[in-house]
Amino acid sequence: MHPLKFVQFILLFCAATLFFSVGCAATGTRDMEPREVSLLETWSGDYPVSELGRLPAGQQDTMAGYVGDAEIFASIWQVFMPNESVPVIDFSKNIIVFTRNIQFYNRTSILKVMLKDSTAEILAMETMSALPIKDKVAIAMAVIPRQGVKAIQAGAEKIEITPLQ
């Protein structure tokens, strides 16, 4: 790894650690301890920018989000992994969370998902690049249990999980 990239990575890691530790301490509430959520399946790869409209409404521009039904997932999968059949997911018991970098093209993979106060936070690892996003974005997805998850943390905003009808 180039020394400058390594320094940038260390600075980003330190800033993120400081941000999350100060942000959690500053709430002044006594929230339950975070717990790790099981990753039932994971996928990573490229996703065409021209097809971001297939992501759930209101989540085309967010760094994280979720898919809660089979029809939307099948539409996403057709362009994400066009040569593979759509995995069968029981959306009554599970949801799919996703993450991506919305500023640069960085390969990403989901390491774990933490749940605190019914909000899931995706912890992912990315390559570090300064390549602009042009025709594709790197995206990672994971199937997690739906139980207890009421929102996904997407940067500074929360995306509420829509209950099944």
The 3-state DSSP class for residue 53 equals helix
58, part of any domain:
yes
DSSP string covering 4-27: HHHHHHHHHHHHHHHHHHHHHHTT
The total number of structural domains in the chain stands at 2
67 in the same domain as 3: no
Please check the confidence at residue 6 and state whether its pLDDT lies above 50. no
Per the structure, the complete domain to which residue 6 belongs is given by 1-30
- Amino acid letter, residue 26: A
Please check the confidence at residue 4 and state whether its pLDDT lies above 70. no
77 in the same domain as 16: no
165, part of any domain:
no
15 in the same domain as 39: no
13 in the same domain as 56: no
Q: Read off the pLDDT band of 31 (50, 70, 90).
A: low
17, part of any domain:
yes
Instruction: Identify the pLDDT of residue 87.
Output: 96
Per-residue pLDDT tens for 93-108? 999 999 998 888 889 9
Per-residue pLDDT tens for 77-132? 999 999 999 999 999 999 999 999 888 888 999 999 999 999 999 999 888 877 88
94 in the same domain as 82: yes
6 in the same domain as 84: no
Average pLDDT over residues 34-47: 95
107 in the same domain as 62: yes
Q: Read off the pLDDT band of 1 (50, 70, 90).
A: low
